[in-house]
Amino acid sequence: MIKDITIGQYFPGKSPIHRMDPRVKILLTAAFIVMLFISNSLWGLLVGAAFTLITFLISRIPLKLMFKSLKPIIPIIIFTGILNLFFIKSGEPYFKWKVFQITDEGVSTAVFMAVRIICLIIGSSLLTYTTSPIDLTDAIERLLSPLKKIKVPVHELAMMMTIALRFIPTLIEETDKIMSAQKARGADMETGSIMKRAKALIPILVPLFVSSFRRAEELALAMECRCYHGGEGRTRMKQLHLSAVDGAAVCYMLAFFAGVIALNIIL
Amino acid sequence: MAVIKTENLTYIYGEGTPFEKRAVDDVSLEIGEGEMIGVIGHTGSGKSTLIQHFNGLLKPSSGSVYIDGEKLWEDKARLRAIRFKVGLVFQYPEYQLFEETCYKDIAFGPKNMGLSDAEIDERIKETAKMVGLSPELLDKSPFELSGGQKRRVAIAGVMAMRPKVLILDEPASGLDPKGREYILGMLKDYHTATKSTVMIVSHSMEDVARYADRILVMNKAKLYCLEETEKVFSRSEELMSMGLSVPQITRVFARLKEMGIEFNKDVYTTPYAVKLLLERLGQKEGLA
């Protein structure tokens, strides 16, 4: 059950998107988000949606995963949709009943927002689907490195992120194991009042905390044994290089971006 | 009647995903009351998955499990009662201790059963004695104890539920030889004293050979055999071809056989080997 979490899941592949430099990928994702937000007409947004879909197809990630990544935000989409439908009072009303009314502007805004949120989620989950967590944190470290000048511990932050990501599956597995063990002793986590259920978490959380601290200590020791002393003078095994794919990706992005701006001006 | 019975039990991890794996494949077996069973198999052979079916922690993908004649998963509300009947001790159980004192930790299971305080107290004192924890340790925090002591507290926590069947996954792993000996001897005593069914999953053939009446061998998700200890170790070549070892003494006797010194019995424990050898030496030299 908890093993089904897909946050930050990476699907190895060889598509052009996979081969891109992670730094470029992060920057283009940021550009993509900007693109979605500056497009002020439905047509401009459709260009953004087309971009999302085409990019997804290029990445050769199964379409099933696209829907899976949308699943947790369905309530948000419905909620904003309803708000927009009922609370936008301007425009031609289609339907009126007491204080409730649905106007054409309400409908178009509702659709507009929904499409925007969906594109946003799919586009950004594509980043984590096609980039391994290590590459991602590497790229973040490199992108943020100018901040080192103002004494921001960029390397340390990136290392912390890498370690946190690395331990998510381990902790999930550990939680599963502890839960099974306590269930074997008759722990009941599914029934009872909220208080009772909260109390039932103690036998799981205490061992989980204890083992996390133990793990952290062991890891720190192992890192020190290998002379880890922070980011200074540290070289990398895997160097990040820009390649032709990245150039192509930037051009591809620019084309769509220009399209959106053009539509904004025309309409 | 069999305490544990499975019929065509199959379990598939991640069914319907690209990571699908058949962990237990078509296993049918019967285990009688009061037996001491050793479970052996290579890493990933499905032994841990198999035992988690016996107390309803895992739901079979197909096939069925019967405990005491009762079919599991017919009525989900009965599963908790089944878990009190079949006590399961996981590998490294000391990592699941959580209470302030050992006493409270051992009481966790019995409390979940809804027993009276007096009954719980009696059970804790009894099991503490059985696993060799002195009374003053009971008031200490489990985190202050040594590794071996923690393990005994964790095992006591399951024993205190007085299950009809006690299943332990690698109860002696990670302990020094003295600790191993202690835990296994303690389990044997528990078995004799309570006459309950005990199943021990282990990598060590020596341990299993010494204590088990019957041995269950798992190989590549399938039940390879469930037979009397001597019969299983008489097939030592087959075990070794599966990547399992046999007790060292059995290997010594296999070599002796190759060298032309044949014994008509299969040997899998050292004391028995000593006895046989002494008899043979006595015969040869004509000493009585």
Q: Which residues of B touch A185 (CB under 8 A)?
A: 83, 108-109, 112, 157-158, 161
Q: For CA atoms B119, B120, B123, B125, give the dihedral sign.
A: negative
Query: Chain A residues within 8 A (CB-CB) of chain B?
Result: 177-178, 180-188, 202-203, 206-207, 210-211
Across the interface, which of B88, B98, B112 has its CB nearest the CB of A207?
A: B98
B7-31 per-residue burial string, b: 16 or more CB within 10 A, e: under 16 = bebbbbeeeeeeeeebbbbebebeb
Q: Tokens standing for A135?
A: 């590459």
Backbone angles phi and psi of B200, in degrees to 5: -120, 120
CB atoms A185 and B80 under 8 Å? no
- ipTM (interface predicted TM): 0.85
Q: pLDDT tens, position by position, for chain A (267 residues)?
A: 445 555 557 888 889 999 999 999 999 999 999 999 988 888 888 899 999 999 999 988 888 878 877 888 888 899 988 888 888 777 777 777 777 777 888 888 888 889 999 999 888 888 988 988 888 888 988 899 898 889 888 888 888 888 888 888 888 889 999 999 999 998 887 777 888 888 888 999 999 999 999 999 999 999 999 988 877 778 888 788 888 999 999 999 999 999 999 988 887
Across the interface, which of B55, B108, B161 has its CB nearest the CB of A203?
A: B108
- Residue holding tokens 């399961």? B88
3-state secondary structure string across A216-265? HHHHHHHHHHCCCCCCCCCCCCCCCCCCHHHHHHHHHHHHHHHHHHHHHH
Q: Mutation target for A interface from B95, B113, B115, B153: give the one with most A CBs within 10 A.
A: B95
3-state secondary structure of B14: coil
Residues 6+ apart with CB under 8 A from A111: A42
Q: Per residue in A209-257, pLDDT tens? A: 999 999 999 999 999 999 888 777 788 887 888 889 999 999 999 999 9
Q: How far is B141 from chain A (nearest CA, A)?
A: 13
Return d(Cα A184, Cα B169) in angstroms, integer.
Answer: 13
Q: What is the pTM of this model?
A: 0.76
| DSSP H or E stretch at residue B201 | strand B197-201
- B101 burial type by CB count under 10 A (0-12 exposed, 13-18 middle, 19+ buried): middle
Q: Per residue in B214-247, pLDDT tens? A: 999 999 999 999 999 888 888 878 888 888 878 8
Return d(Cα A214, Cα A207) in angstroms, integer.
Answer: 10
Return d(Cα B161, Cα B107) in angstroms, integer.
Answer: 9
CB atoms A186 and B90 under 8 Å? no
Q: Which residues of A touch B93 (CB under 8 A)?
A: 181
pLDDT in the model for residue B190: 94
Work out the number of other CB atoms within 10 angstroms of the CB of residue B187.
Answer: 24
Contact predicate B234/B80, CB 8 Å: no
Return d(Cα A64, Cα A134) in angstroms, integer.
Answer: 25
